[in-house]
Amino acid sequence: MLIVQISDLHITTPSKKAYGVASTGDNLSLCVDHINQLKPQPDLVLVTGDICNENSFDELINAKNLLDELNYPYYVMPGNHDTRNDLTAVFGTVHCPVSFEENNPSSFISYIIDYKALRMIAIDSTIKGKSGGELCKNRLAWLKDQLDKEQNKPTIIIMHHPPIKLGVFETDMDIFIGTEKLGKLLNNYSNIKAILSGHIHRHTHTLWSNTVVITAPSTSMELMLELDSKQPSKFYNEPPSYLLHYWTPDNNLVSHAIVVHETNGPYPFRSY
C-alpha cells in the first residue's frame, strides 16, 4: 500500500506569488504531475494542511482546481493558514469526509480513513486564528475512542502540527497545547506506526511516545535550518517535494522523501 503525503502547499490566487516570490501553484502542479506518473500507483494522497496561504476562499478554490488533477483519491486536513468552514465548503465530503458545524465549539475536522492494511486517523490540530496547534480535551477524548476501537490494526495519526518541538524556531515558537496528555495517551498503544504532520516546512522524523513523528516538507518553501536561531525563519524557494509512505508486505512503514526536479540517469549501480 502506498500513501502520498503533500503538505504546506500555501496556494495563492493564480496571479500572485506567496510572499511575492514563491510560485506555489506551479510547484503544486509539478508535484501532481510527478505523483500521477508514480509506478506502482499510490492508493491515496493525504494533504496535511496549510493548503492556502492567506486564509482565503479564492485561494482554496485555486488549490482544489490544482489538486483535482490528481489521478487518485485525496483527503485534506486543515492547517493554521486554512479556515475550517471554507475548507469543508470547497472540498466537500469527498475530500474532507466530515460534517463540520461552524458554530459548534466541539466540532472539528477529524475523520477516519480505514483502507486495506492501515487505519488512518486524521485529527484537527488547529486553533482558530492562531498559528500554534492543540489537541484539547474533546479531541483527545475522540482520539482515545478511535484508538480503543481498533487496537490491533496498524494505525497512522495525521495532523497538521507536530506535537513536539523539532528545532525550527519559527514553528517551535508556536505552542502545541496538549503535548503531554497526547504523549501519555499514545504510550498505551503499540499499533501506532507514525504521526504524519507538516507545518515546519522540513522533512524530519523522531521517536516520541511509542511511535515516530514524521514531518513532510512543504511543496514550495523550505524553512532555513538554523538550529541556534532565535529569529523568525526565512525560507528558500526549493524544488517541490513530498513524501511517499510505503506499507510493505512485511508490515513496516517506510517513508521516502521525493524531490521533483531535473535529473540525469538512471545509471547501473555496479561496475562491469
How far apart, in whole angstroms, are the C-alpha atoms of residue 73 and residue 115?
12
Query: Site residues for Fe ion, window 210-269 (CB under 5 A)?
Result: none
CB of 44 to Fe ion, least distance (A): 21
Should residue 84 be labelled a site residue for Fe ion when binding is judged by CB under 5 A? no
CB of 182 to Fe ion, least distance (A): 18
Based on CB atoms, which residue is closest to Fe ion, 199 or 245? 199
Three-state SS annotation for the chain: CEEEEEECCCECCCCCCECCCECHHHHHHHHHHHHHCCCCCCCEEEEECCCECCCCHHHHHHHHHHHCCCCCCEEEECCCCCCHHHHHHHHHHHHCCCCCCCCCCCCCCCEEEEECCEEEEECCCECCCCCCEECCHHHHHHHHHHHHHCCCCCEEEECCCCCCCCCCHHHHCCCEECHHHHHHHHCCCCCEEEEEECCCCCCEEEEECCEEEEECCECCEEECCCCCCCCCCCEEECCCEEEEEEECCCCCEEEEEEECCCCCCCCCCCCC
Based on CB atoms, which residue is closest to Fe ion, 125 or 155? 125
CB of 72 to Fe ion, least distance (A): 23
CB of 9 to Fe ion, least distance (A): 8
CB of 116 to Fe ion, least distance (A): 29
Residues 80, 110, 126, 219: which binds Fe ion (CB under 5 A)? 80
Q: Which residue is nearest to Fe ion (CB)?
A: 50
How many residues sit in the footprint of Fe ion (CB under 5 A)? 5
Query: Site residues for Fe ion, window 35-54 (CB under 5 A)?
Result: 50
Cα-only R_g, the chain = 18
Q: Do β-strands 118-122 and 111-115 pair in parallel, antiparallel, or remain unpaired?
A: antiparallel
Residues 4, 6, 8, 96: which binds Fe ion (CB under 5 A)? 8
Based on CB atoms, which residue is closest to Fe ion, 79 or 163? 79
Based on CB atoms, which residue is closest to Fe ion, 74 or 247? 74
CB of 235 to Fe ion, least distance (A): 10
Should residue 78 be labelled a site residue for Fe ion when binding is judged by CB under 5 A? no
Query: Site residues for Fe ion, window 160-219 (CB under 5 A)?
Result: 199
Should residue 79 be labelled a site residue for Fe ion when binding is judged by CB under 5 A? yes
Based on CB atoms, which residue is closest to Fe ion, 79 or 178? 79
CB of 82 to Fe ion, least distance (A): 9
| Cα dihedral sign, 256-262-265-266 | positive
Q: Which residues would be at the binding site for Fe ion (CB under 5 A)?
A: 8, 50, 79-80, 199
